[in-house]
Chain A
Amino acid sequence: MEFAFTEEHLMIRDSAERFLGQASDSHAVRAAMNRPDGHDPEVWRQIGQQLYWPALMVPERFGGMGLGFVELAILLEQSGRFLLGSPLFATSCLATPALLLGHNVTAQEHWLGAIAAGETRATLAFASVAGLEACSVQTVAEPHHGGWTLDGQYAQVIDGASADLLIVAARAPGTEGEQGISLFALPGDTPGVIRTPLATLDQTRRLARIELHKVQVSEAQLLCGPALGWTVLRDTLQIAAIGLAAEQTGGAQQALDLTLAYIAERRQFKRTIASFQAIKHRCADMMLQVECARSAAYYAACVAQERLDPAGDAAVIEELELAAATAKIHASEAFFHCAGESIQLHGGVGFTWEYDPHLYFKRARAGEHLLGSPALHRERLAAYLLGEQA
């Protein structure tokens, strides 16, 4: 048990901070918001091919760096802090865990290698209707000539329009609930895949609707059959929620830091407004929430790390659902609270398009719902605590 950052962790954090401080400053964020894919391809090239962030968590035997989810969480905290528009989250928090947990070595070699090389943007599509439960998987995989035909649609897929690789969940005809779910690897340009970008309230993260019309997939594209399909999908979504919590922690921290910088300069009544106790106490409450979110996110990142490690600690892995819920609840609420306070404490300029608080506020709103709202995660905890879980 050692719940502290190492020297190496601090180096990763500092180098990410230096890079993103320039590559994702306010000007760059706004430029990325106006691009069709929501990210600057040159920045993504640097991230993938010079900084090797997508390679971080990929095992060395697949061409990656073989580091853990804690190191990734450190990067995510910084990318959230700087509102980085990037395929990093979907690639590293959704697709990479699904590939790692999915057991198809051939697919792992191919796709994890391509991700580690910084050449492939990937994502995960699973829900036909809103929700995180197994019943939201409604796309059908009909067996066909030793492969499958996929038919259905996915409502809101992160970076769904731009991803080079789609990991998709589909179920065997006539199955329901947790039964019959398989995961497939599908190149984004596969015939029959129709992708429609959605205009979103938060312009720093892209969503798309994806339709599959009689899409043919082969045995080689099967990552995970029905025996483990739901388990892999469920755990992937929990790991992604933990990654999102790390991102949200960074966003909450920056909403606080932007506010502190502004109120230290802004003068009214012949004094800085930071000197008013009414303001100091609100900032103290923001910091309280940020630090609680940070503790929860990194604890959960440690749990995710064990889950992704084939030799992980079984006692720790058992905590995955509860740790993910705890992290997602605290980070979501901390970020939304801090972003809202940031607008309020900036006063009038906080309501302008020119100042940044609204960007954090909108990202906080979107992230709160993404991968399970706090209310949904609390209900999961309640079912567990009150002894109602199957």
Chain B
Amino acid sequence: MKIGFSRADEAFRKEVAHWMAEHLGGEFAPLRFRGGPGDEHSFPEERKAWERELAAGAWIGVGWAREHGGRGLSISQQVIFHEEYARAGGPGRMGHIGEGLVGPTLAAFGTPAQQQRLLPGILDGSQFWCQGYSEPGAGSDLANVQTRAKLDATGEHWLISGQKVWTSLAHEADWCFVLARTEPGSQGHHGLSFLLVPMAQDTIRVQPIQQLTGTSEFNEVFFDQAGTHADNLIGQPGDGWKIAMALLGFERGVSTLGQQMQFHNELDEIIRIARANGAARDPLLRQRIAQAWAGLKVLRYNSLRMLSGPQDGNLGREAMIYKLAWSTWHSDLGKLAMDVLGDAAEILDAAPYQLSRLQSLFLFTRSDTIYGGSNEIQRNVIAERALGMPREPRFSN
């Protein structure tokens, strides 16, 4: 157990900072500090171009193994990369689903042919991904997926029908990974498969959802006999649940550090405002600002623990608490932002409903405690899987 960075690490830090300073300017300057959660709808084309810029600098897949085309950086250097990326105001990543979720899943469960076919498009910033898990009837009860997939007569193509929902970046994505029922009549987590589906087909319709923020990052996605080649099945038919759960484990990997640096930028803005508008003199707000700062440090320490443990997709105790920890922290931050702003919290940037960054933060954090497993589901998971408490009763209809 040893914290701190070596000289080689500090040299690497300079290298990243230098690259960011050189490249995040000019045409990319408007992207600084943009495109994070709550702002993902902004500048899509420019952010795709930025992904290709990152790829040219070999900054995508820095933590991936070399055999998969990554840089195989040490944990320390991955930490440094994420810190310097955010410090420079690096925009919210369009490629984070591919890099953080699909890549590690393909590395663990894909065939060499699938890896060779699909990983390069993630690494070169040309292919973007979205996630097809939730459905209208499969939210917290994700295993109740009803989207169906069956092989066509030739046995070469899967045909997918059904509806996914809460799919962020669906309208910007080239691919969707879809959890679908391939065994007719199966129930629960049996009979599901993990399929990769190209989005550019007219049998797929993307319908944006207007959120309480007034903006639309989430979508409904309708599949009407949409096709994908049989080579795009990951694992075997029926492995879908196992792979889908492992993928969620990768969600608690190094990408959490990038998310935290985003949080750090938000907290810094709140602190700047507090100093400027006098909120910094309010003893209760001072306590809450300090608590937010300390809580963010603890999120970072939790991540460092996760990253120093085995990276096999299995969740350790500290990983199981991670979602509950950050979502609760972040929604508290949203409320703190409003309380620090005071009167100004109520006034929009512009009519009809243009939110300031902190208003957007405040409203958007109400989704943090719901998506990706609500806090209530997280508590069930912690109680049952980490603490060994009795499972919730399962009712079959």
Contact = CB atoms under 8 A, between A and B. Distances in A.
Contacts of A322: 297
B4 A315 contact: yes
Contacts of A326: 294, 297-298
Contacts of A298: 1, 301
A200 interface: no
A287 interface: yes
Interface in B60-80: 74-76, 79
Interface stretch (A1-9, A166-174, A220-228): A1-9
A236 B337 CA distance: 36
B333 to A, nearest CB: 14
Interface in B97-111: none
Interface size class of B (residues with CB under 8 A): 35 or more
B248 interface: no
A316 B4 contact: yes
A381 interface: yes
B305 A284 contact: no
A292 B325 contact: yes
A330 B302 CA distance: 13
B390 A275 contact: yes
A386 B280 contact: yes
Nearest to B79: A1
A1 B389 contact: no
Given A288-B321, A379-B287, A385-B271, A295 B298 contact: yes
Nearest to A1: B76
A125 B280 CA distance: 34
B242 interface: no
User: Which residue of B304, B383, B384 has the most chain A CB atoms within 10 A of its CB atom?
Assistant: B383
Residue among B75, B289, B325, B390 with max Cβ neighbours from chain A (10 Å): B390
A283 B383 contact: yes
Contact of B317 (A281, A291, A325, A385): A291
State the main secondary structure of chain B at its contact with A: helix
B287 A375 contact: yes
A313 B389 CA distance: 43
Nearest to A292: B298
B5 A378 contact: no
A70 B2 CA distance: 9
A272 interface: yes
B382 interface: yes
Interface stretch (A41-49, A50-58, A202-210, A299-307): A299-307
Interface residues of A, number: 51
A210 B280 CA distance: 39
Contacts of A302: 1-4
Contact of A287 (B294, B386, B390): B386
Contacts of B293: 381, 385
Contacts of B317: 287, 291
Contacts of B280: 382, 386
Interface stretch (B150-158, B223-231, B361-369, B373-381): B373-381
Interface in B289-312: 289-291, 293-294, 297-298, 301-302, 304-305, 307-309
| Chain A facing B: main interface SS | helix
A116 interface: no
B120 to A, nearest CB: 30
A277 interface: yes
B124 interface: no
A369 interface: no
Contacts of B379: 280-281, 284-285
A287 B383 CA distance: 9
A2 B2 contact: yes
A70 B301 contact: no
B183 interface: no
Contact of B305 (A3, A9, A303): A3
Nearest to B391: A275
Contacts of B382: 283-284, 287-288
A303 B3 contact: yes
A294 B301 CA distance: 9
Contacts of B79: 1
A387 interface: yes
A161 interface: no
Contacts of A99: none
A313 B3 CA distance: 9
B290 A378 contact: yes
A292 B300 CA distance: 10
B318 interface: yes
Contacts of A70: 1
B324 interface: yes
A193 interface: no
A378 B1 contact: no
Interface string A300-335: 011100100000010110000011011001100000
A283 B74 CA distance: 35
Contacts of A4: 1, 305, 308-309
A5 B383 CA distance: 24
A316 B389 CA distance: 40
A295 B256 CA distance: 16
Given A1-B76, A283-B383, A329 B301 contact: no
A296 B290 contact: no
A12 B382 CA distance: 27
Nearest to B77: A1
A382 B287 contact: yes
Interface in A255-290: 260, 264, 272, 274-275, 277, 280-281, 283-285, 287-288
B387 A284 contact: yes
B392 interface: yes
B4 A385 contact: no
Contacts of A299: 3, 297, 301, 304
20 contacts: A1-B75, A1-B79, A2-B308, A3-B304, A3-B307, A4-B309, A260-B388, A274-B390, A277-B392, A281-B376, A284-B382, A284-B386, A287-B317, A292-B298, A295-B301, A295-B305, A378-B286, A378-B291, A379-B287, A385-B290
